[in-house]
Amino acid sequence: MKIRYLVIALVVFSISSIFIGVSSIGLTDIFHLNEFQQQILLHSRLPRLISIIIAGASMAICGLIMQQLSRNKFVSPTTAGTMDSARLGILVSMLVFSAANPLFRAGSAFLFALLGTFLFMKILDKIKFKDAIFIPLVGIMFGNIIGSITMFFAYKNDMIQTITAWLQGDFSMVLSGSYELLYISIPALFIAYLYANKFTIAGMGEDFSTNLGMNHKRVVNVGLIIVAIATSVVVLTVGVIPFLGLIIPNIVSIYQGDNLRSNLPHTALLGAVFVLFCDILGRVLIYPYEIPIGLTVGVIGSGVFIYLLLRRKNYA
């Protein structure tokens, strides 16, 4: 697959995304919009498009980095407790400082996501039995434990509704003023690109990295920080998007290999295109109502995931 096709797909889907919705804006209206249409475009359609692109690209890249650092193709923010930890962080920030501003909330989510992922990597170090399927199972269990802690405290404090809102990813609530936090993810992704070669080397193990004179621990830590930043802002603004970090990097790896320097742009683009596609699908299927993105990505993603598992014999 050429990167050109991904760019074309992204442009086509982006344009259709802008013109799909309950209040109709036609392609031809674009040069003489009335005030209402202008408002819709600027405060709803464009923010939605931007957040989809950033969130899709971020989650796919987070998955790629995590898979590389843990040396396991089935590790991702959803299968390593990162997302669940971020949610626990959001809950804690709401419990402790009820009127916390968004940046503070993001900070708390980031801290918990980082700690959770770090803990998971530590558990990985301790496990002797490094089976490809066993490790993500441990991660899912770990995530569920954290998730149940979150639920427990949410029940006790009557916050179930608020916290479940972050359980399922949803772009329909994205309006200007509520999504700008996502921009934090962009510099993080840029740093990821600068570190691409180092992540690739880190993926070949500590001995391999040391031989090339690279500080393995430091590179792993940088990777985890990037993952925690991107995951926490995505969970905060759109919610959990399952499977994305898992399937996109795997698909790219099959046709493109594991060299991150050339992989990252493909992964980011494919992630954005995939989420855009799922979002458009969710908006069209039961028009004028919407299926939340968490559901569409979950259904299509789990299908792709099963396919990846089945073809594992010759790969991964």
Interacting residue ranges for other proteins, rule: CB under 8 A: 71, 196-198, 200-201, 203-205, 207-208, 210-215, 253, 257-259, 261, 315-316
Nearer to other proteins, 149 or 214 (CB): 214
Tokens 């792709």 correspond to what residue? 304
Nearer to other proteins, 160 or 254 (CB): 254
Of 259, 147, 155, the residue nearest 197 (C-alpha):
259
Smallest gap from Cβ 214 to other proteins, in A, equals 7
Of 89, 198, 69, the residue nearest 135 (C-alpha):
69
Degrees (nearest 5) of the Cα angle 237, 262, 83? 25
Smallest gap from Cβ 243 to other proteins, in A, equals 21
Smallest gap from Cβ 266 to other proteins, in A, equals 13
Nearer to other proteins, 75 or 238 (CB): 75
Smallest gap from Cβ 67 to other proteins, in A, equals 11
Rounded-to-integer distance, Cα 83 and Cα 120, Å? 12
Nearer to other proteins, 32 or 128 (CB): 128
Nearer to other proteins, 46 or 316 (CB): 316
Rounded-to-integer distance, Cα 298 and Cα 304, Å? 10
Smallest gap from Cβ 213 to other proteins, in A, equals 3
Bond prior to 288 in cis (omega within 30° of 0): yes
Instruction: Report whether 87 contacts 240 (CB < 8 A).
Output: yes
Degrees (nearest 5) of the Cα angle 181, 229, 161? 65
